[in-house]
A and B are shown apart, each in its own frame.
Chain A
Amino acid sequence: MIEHRGIYFELAEDEYHADPALGSTDLRRLMASGPDYWWHSSLNPTPPPAKTMPAIEYGKALHKLVLEGRQMFEANYVQRPPDLAKLDAKTKAELAPNGQTVLATDDYDAILFSAAQIASNPGLVTAFEGGQPEVSIFWHARLDDGYIVPCKARWDYLKVRGIGDLKSIRNIYGKPFGEACIRSITDYRYDIQAAHYLIGRGELAHFVQAGLVHGDHDPAWLERVAQSPSYAFQWVFYQAQGAPIVWSRSLSWGNPILEIAMRDRHKALETYRDYKQTFPTGMWRLDEPVSELQIDAMPGWYR
């Protein structure tokens, strides 16, 4: 298992995920419990296979197109012909000779349309231009007691003054889209992701200075990123079903939302440390003593 350190351009997604450092999804799992994290982590000798759901594939394809452009998108995805009755191995080999992912006809069209909609939003015309897609960074966080936690982040899009994060969501309850996005941020703790990514961004200048930069990149541009006196995190949410609505919000340092996210991120790092120390080998367990379930532990609506 390779452990990375520094800034990586064009690092393969699988390689990024294989690194045992803590990314934003790991932090979210640690927020739930240590065993939840362990189960999905590389510490588990038999982790569950990564899920491939149509919604995840849709999101990945949209990322590829919006962040890396049409050429890269077409190199990785092909459209299933509408009249193709069955997609067997032989047909797939003919359709995608270079191992591209075959997208459903409608999904492929929807992704092209979505990307065009994002680019046509007046506030986002150049949001995903002039920067670098999928930049990874690996650093070490030091806790109060000196314990070191390896951390990682993979920025969707890095610009001089910002980190762009594209999210396509399905607004299943039909809420006003902004409300649905905020719900999504709180449900999936995307605020913790934002805090984690901004902390990683804070390490960038030092890695540039130390020469810990890997992969093909423009050093002059990276120097400008490193020297930028201020930067922030910005979400671009896109409604994947229904009207093509885009909603974008940023988080700057000092924002109390980040304060809450930082607090919870820190708790997650401490949970990691505590479990690592309690279970140096083997499965992480949640060993709580048996006790009576009390009424005040039940949710308000139950009472």
Chain B
Amino acid sequence: MTDIESEIQHLPDTEVGTAVSVIARAELDSAVMTAHAKPREIKKAINKIASLATMDEDTAARCVYALPRGGKAIRGPSVRLAEIIMQQWGNCRVEAEVIEIDRVNKIIKARGTFTDLETNTAIRLPAMRRIADKRGRLFNDDMIAVTSAAVCSIARRNVILYGVPEVVWRKAYEAVEQVIAGDIKTLAERREKAVKAFATYGVTPEQIFALLEVDSLADVTLDHVVTLAGVYSSIKHGESTIEELFDPRAGRPFEVVDNPLKDETPTGKAGAAPQGGAGAGTAPSDSPQAGAAARDQPQDKTPPPKQQPENPFRNALGPDNKR
């Protein structure tokens, strides 16, 4: 036990708080003085960030994350790149901490704080993650601990990318993407490599194609290679899970009836076959949906017709409706 800790133990609670804050204040003052004495060299930092992040292909791959959202991949600098940025930018402090484990709403909240010791500015940003599985059941303590680490990583990354001007790291990020993508000569090799990397998580090539919305390996472009590297990185760093990204049901195409309560165009073509049983024409024959639907149909039913595209925005009923 140090002398200071020993002294603190004998102080009342309020005085302990005061003593700790005095120590923290002294540390901060000392860091600010050092920052002013040795200011950062901006150009040097920019170059070093780019050089470290693109040191080799594997490092570059760790510097990108990607998450599929609404049919598009959101890509950006990863936690690893943020760490390089923070280290090379210098004269700053970054902290991330869990601020609440909300077991009722099943979310965990963290916040990241970035303090620039040279300019005396601070930024604080929140981050949040679910702590429930896909059935809505609360995670156990181990999983909550794992999620805490992941949400703190996200909070740390976000606050660094806000705290350090984008102009400092943007070129490095672009260079990272180029290194990952390679060129047309390396494309075939990198596609294969990406598919193999995902195979270690049990992800099949078909699941990857579905994620990228392509039909085969030949359709995977240079840009897709970057996305795959980002997705892989986000799984590896705990920012997303295989289950979230490769739920075979998510993103599966089906015919959406656009705004079904909006008035429709008269689509009841003369002689058109009547609509068949539930789920007609859209469910695979081996799905529970089709199974239950088929079981609900009376024996004397006609087979359902295939659904057709339509313009739903006109009213077929007119003013003689029954309202």
Contacts and interface: CB of A to CB of B under 8 A. Distances in A.
A232 interface: yes
Q: DSSP class of A's interface residues: helix, strand, loop or mixed?
A: mixed
B261 A252 contact: no
A252 B309 CA distance: 13
A301 B103 contact: yes
Interface string B226-263: 00000000000000000000000110111111011111
A161 B254 contact: no
A202 B259 contact: no
A131 B263 CA distance: 9
Nearest to A127: B261
Contacts of B278: 198-203, 253
B282 A253 contact: yes
Contacts of B277: 199, 202-203
Interface in B95-135: 103, 105
A161 B257 contact: yes
Contacts of A143: 295
A69 interface: yes
Contacts of B315: 126, 130
Contacts of A98: none
Interface string B285-323: 001110111011111110011011010100111101111
A14 interface: no
A230 B307 contact: yes
Contacts of B298: 139-140, 142, 203, 206
B264 interface: yes
B261 A228 contact: no
Contacts of B21: none
Nearest to B319: A130
Contact of B293 (A69, A127, A199, A228): A199
B249 A205 contact: no
A186 B136 contact: yes
Contact of A265 (B249, B262, B292, B310): B292
Contact of A159 (B260, B276, B283, B307): B260
B322 A160 contact: no
A230 B262 contact: no
A255 B254 contact: yes
Nearest to A217: B322
B267 to A, nearest CB: 6
B292 A263 contact: yes
A129 interface: yes
A51 interface: no
A253 B280 contact: yes
B268 interface: yes
B275 A229 contact: yes
Interface string A190-225: 000000001111111110110000001110010110
Contact of B137 (A164, A186, A199, A300): A300
A104 interface: no
A241 interface: no
B274 interface: yes
Contacts of B275: 202, 204-205, 226-231
Contacts of A68: 323
Given A227-B268, A253-B254, A202 B261 contact: no
Contacts of A127: 261-262
Interface string A253-272: 11110110011011000000
A236 B262 CA distance: 12
A221 B267 contact: no
Interface stretch (B4-12, B40-48, B138-146): B138-146
B129 to A, nearest CB: 15
A23 interface: no
Contacts of A162: 257, 260-261
A157 B260 CA distance: 11
B274 A266 contact: no
A123 interface: yes
Interface string A234-250: 10100000000000101
B272 interface: yes
Given A162-B260, A224-B316, A209 B274 contact: yes
A250 B254 CA distance: 13
B268 A228 contact: yes
**The 6 residue pairs across chains A and B that have the minimum distance between CB atoms:** A162-B260, A254-B254, A202-B278, A256-B249, A232-B257, A205-B274
Interface of B: 103, 105, 136-141, 143, 249-250, 252-257, 259-264, 266-269, 272-283, 287-289, 291-293, 295-301, 304-305, 307-308, 310, 312, 315-318, 320-323
14 contacts: A126-B261, A127-B262, A131-B317, A131-B321, A133-B323, A151-B296, A161-B264, A199-B293, A205-B276, A206-B298, A230-B255, A230-B308, A232-B257, A258-B279
Given A186-B136, A231-B257, 11 more contacts: A161-B264, A162-B257, A164-B261, A198-B279, A199-B293, A202-B276, A226-B274, A252-B256, A254-B253, A259-B283, A263-B292
Interface of A: 68-69, 123-124, 126-133, 139-144, 151, 157, 159-164, 173, 175, 186, 198-206, 208-209, 216-218, 221, 223-224, 226-234, 236, 248, 250, 252-256, 258-259, 262-263, 265-266, 299-301, 303
